[in-house]
Chains A and B, each alone.
Chain A
């Protein structure tokens, strides 16, 4: 279970990233944030976000057009 879930479904670039950054503030250090999105561009973007910020992308998957990302707050 993630510490926090962000529903970014229906939102387009760059809103899933911007909202994820905001939501990470609510997550304790070492905790996890689950993000649900429908923007196909968010796959590459969350990978880039993770590499640049150091927050680890633990998982990502897709089911029925919904992308699920699990970020670990490490930065």
Chain B
């Protein structure tokens, strides 16, 4: 059986698409790390930003983490790893504190910032597509976003996916 008959394997293996759906500081990492790294490894990368992920394209990023409903989030504190009970997470100021802690840890451990990773993705010519429907829904205009974006919808993404060897949903 030819490789084509085995399932359309005439797709360039060095192609990747990522659907980016989450817009918190922690969830901004996986798509930007994988997108920028794949591009650095010579892959042609397309990132499609939809729903809360769309906020990651705003010029002014103000990313936060929340400990609310996030029992997997255990921060190193006082020699152990501590999670936050939901009742405490709901207190005003707790998310702000958790965000500050996370940003300090990121800096201290030499982890890239999201603006830095985003810039590297742009520099490496990742194709960035903003979801038109989400822009309408949450009332954003292209003026709010970083330059160089494409605007598209579900069909635009599906076309990309049919031409990409790796397709991720984050």
Contact = CB atoms under 8 A, between A and B. Distances in A.
A21 B42 CA distance: 9
Contacts of A53: 41-42
Contacts of B58: none
A18 interface: yes
B36 interface: yes
A10 interface: yes
B56 to A, nearest CB: 17
B153 to A, nearest CB: 30
Nearest to B32: A14
Nearest to A20: B40
Interface residues of B, number: 13
A18 B109 CA distance: 17
Contact of A12 (B109, B120, B124): B109
Contact of B36 (A11, A14, A49): A14
A20 B40 CA distance: 9
B120 A11 contact: no
Q: Which of B41, B42, B117 has the most CB of A within 10 A?
A: B41
A75 B110 CA distance: 28
Interface string A1-22: 0000000001111110110110
A63 B112 CA distance: 25
Contacts of B109: 12
A66 B134 CA distance: 46
B37 A75 contact: no
Contacts of A61: none
Contact of B33 (A10, A14, A20): A14
B42 A15 contact: no
B110 A17 contact: no
Contacts of A39: 110
A18 B42 contact: no
Interface of B: 33, 36-37, 40-42, 109-112, 117, 120, 124
Given A12-B112, A17-B40, A39-B110, 10 more contacts: A10-B110, A11-B112, A13-B33, A14-B33, A14-B40, A15-B110, A18-B36, A18-B37, A52-B42, A75-B42
8 contacts: A10-B110, A12-B110, A13-B111, A14-B112, A15-B112, A17-B37, A18-B37, A53-B41
